[in-house]
Amino acid sequence: MSSRKAFTLLEVLISIALLGIVIVALFSSVDMMQNSNEHLSKYLEKSKKITKSTKVLYLDMMGSDGNITIQKDEFSRVCMEETRNSLYALPTAKVCWVVLKKDRTLARIEGNAYHLPLNSEERVEVDLVMSDIEVFDVYHEKDKILVLIQQKTKEPISFMLQGISKPVKKKKTAGKTDTNTTSTLTE
């Protein structure tokens, strides 16, 4: 019996061939993982944008004075006459969320004392939030608001706010405000 101190040329070639097969498999799995991570990153960015926009809508409604108008015509829209949630550093702002005809895009319009449709001299900021909107419904009953949003081929988004009551108009009797009537209406 002879003692071996080295590998034969055939053994080295076989190990190199096996290593080559393993490396090719590893590179293909790394490539698949990179593609998967890219898709996941894009999905998370879209999800983050949608979450941020629904948070802004939520904060717009929570910061409002309760004077919220909902119109469902050719443009579905929700307007808060006065809200403390301003993206453009206004002390109070009028904010409208409108579904535009083009691409059924949901837009947020912020400004002061403007009327829709806008006149050329009215200054507002418009942020395009989401496109391909199939459903944008807001329901306001007593002190509850239900919001439903759905993009085409996406899961619907819904949330409910409580404690946002419509402003109560004060009744006047013979030029004086009846404080007893007003306090019972707000309770």
Domain ranges of the chain: 45-162
Query: How far apart (Å, rounded) are the C-alpha atoms in residues 95 and 60?
Result: 7
Query: How far apart (Å, rounded) are the C-alpha atoms in residues 162 and 68?
Result: 14
Q: What is the mean pLDDT of residues 165-171?
A: 69
**What was the pLDDT predicted at 120?**
82
Q: What is the mean pLDDT of residues 155-159?
A: 89
pLDDT digits (tens, 9 = 90+) for 72-116: 877 778 999 999 999 999 988 999 999 988 788 999 999 998 888
Classify the C-alpha dihedral 158-161-165-167 as positive or negative. Answer: negative
Does 172 or 15 have the greater pLDDT score?
15
Q: What is the mean pLDDT of residues 115-127?
A: 86
pLDDT at 179 over 60: no
SS3 126: strand
**What was the pLDDT predicted at 20?**
93
pLDDT band at 21 (very low <50, low <70, confident <90, very high): very high
**What was the pLDDT predicted at 183?**
36
Query: How far apart (Å, rounded) are the C-alpha atoms in residues 127 and 56?
Result: 11
Query: How far apart (Å, rounded) are the C-alpha atoms in residues 129 and 98?
Result: 10
Using a cut of 0.75, tell me whether the model's pTM lies above it: no
Strand ranges for the chain from DSSP E: 68-72, 76-83, 93-99, 106-111, 124-130, 133-141, 144-151, 157-162, 172-173, 176-177
Does 121 or 28 have the greater pLDDT score?
28
SS3 130: strand
CB proximity list for 107: less than 8 A, separation 6 or greater: 97, 98, 99, 100, 126, 127, 128, 129
Query: Tokens 């190990």 belong to which residue?
Result: 15
